[in-house]
Amino acid sequence: MLEVSARLLRLLSLLQTRRDWTGPELAERLGVSARTVRYDIGKLRALGYPVHAAPGTAGGYRLGAGAALPPLLLDDEEAVAVAVSLRTAAGGTVTGIEETCVRALAKLEQVLPSRLRRRVGALHGYTTPLAPAGPTVAAGTLAAIAAACRDHRRLRFGYRRHDGSGTDRDVEPYRLVHTGRRWYLVGWDTVRDDWRTFRVDRLALRVPEGPRFAPRAAPPADLVPRGVDAALARHRARVTVRAPAAEITARVPASVLVEPLDEGACVVHAAGDTPERPARAGGRFDRHRRPLRGRCQQPPCVSVQSSRNVCTW
């Protein structure tokens, strides 16, 4: 039988891995009686862990949210994943969390077993992070938008367009979308009476806690997450590719919209803040050795010649 302290840690770990547990299930996992499980649950409560219980044959135990953050129990793979994520976040596109990530990572590495510390250290020592190419977003802004999405509260904010002009928006937020380079807000524009996408780095929240709204039906599937760049970028191009849509979709980022024409051809919607970006997107398909034709929707763009399959845009 496990010692009491080790058994309590094991019980806490089980409660964190699943939402609901019955008493007999916990007793079987721990190798103890149901009475001992009830005793251990009481010990966890005395230590500050909010363990809720429901009586009856369909009842059980559930670890609830408390006023204080209890320690989390992680297995080896979870600990490595958290460490890698903290390192990545410290140099990512979200500002204001760098020092917090470093502090959390230092605490985690301090208690990691040597075998895991070596794995995490190897990832850090032989990985070179690149600074984000685009503008960054404040962590507080993302948190406020996410809370508004969760609580169904309208957002009012100033928004800067591509040409630098400003506009006021009143939006029912739906989702935050992260493409890897940028953060976007997808929401229902109450003035324009339609779904819209907004670059988060271009908006300034004015009333984070707006009035509540009734959730609408989900927006079109091609709006989230596909097509976000195409919907907002200054320069856009439609590229016809003589290749199946499934093959091309597997080769482009998730934010690039690919529309099938037939079994052997598709249209790629390339976009970017500069003319060169959609042009480079067309060059991705050069190795197909198949005819490709593109046209920029907002000329003047850029002329690109490929050795085999890209015509002038």
**Residue 243: inside a domain, yes or no?**
yes
Q: Are residues 149 and 213 in the same domain?
A: yes
Give me the mean pLDDT over the 60-78 stretch.
Answer: 78
Six-digit token pair at 143?
């948190």
Output the pLDDT for position 169.
Answer: 95
Q: Are residues 202 and 239 in the same domain?
A: no
CATH number, domain with residue 25: 1.10.10.10
Q: Are residues 109 and 159 in the same domain?
A: no
Provide φ and ψ at 4, rounded to 5°: -60, -45
Q: Is residue 134 over pLDDT 80? A: no
Q: Are residues 121 and 143 in the same domain?
A: no
In the chain, % of residues over pLDDT 90:
25
State the DSSP code for 93.
Answer: S
Q: Are residues 200 and 262 in the same domain?
A: no
Host domain of residue 103? 76-125
Length, in residues, of the chain? 313
**Residue 70: inside a domain, yes or no?**
no
In the chain, % of residues over pLDDT 70:
76
**Residue 224: inside a domain, yes or no?**
no
**Residue 304: inside a domain, yes or no?**
no
**Residue 131: inside a domain, yes or no?**
no
Cα separation of 84 and 104, whole Å?
A: 12
Q: Are residues 149 and 210 in the same domain?
A: yes
Q: Is residue 312 over pLDDT 50? A: no
Cα separation of 109 and 121, whole Å?
A: 9
Question: Model's pTM, two decimal places?
Answer: 0.62
Output the pLDDT for position 158.
Answer: 95
The DSSP-derived string for 123-137 is: HHHT--PPPPSS--E
**Residue 256: inside a domain, yes or no?**
yes
Q: Please, which residues bridge with residue 52 across strands?
A: 62
Q: Are residues 154 and 198 in the same domain?
A: yes
Total number of domains constituting the chain: 4
Give me the mean pLDDT over the 31-56 stretch.
Answer: 89
Q: Are residues 234 and 209 in the same domain?
A: no
Output the pLDDT for position 271.
Answer: 73
Q: Are residues 109 and 81 in the same domain?
A: yes
**Residue 69: inside a domain, yes or no?**
no
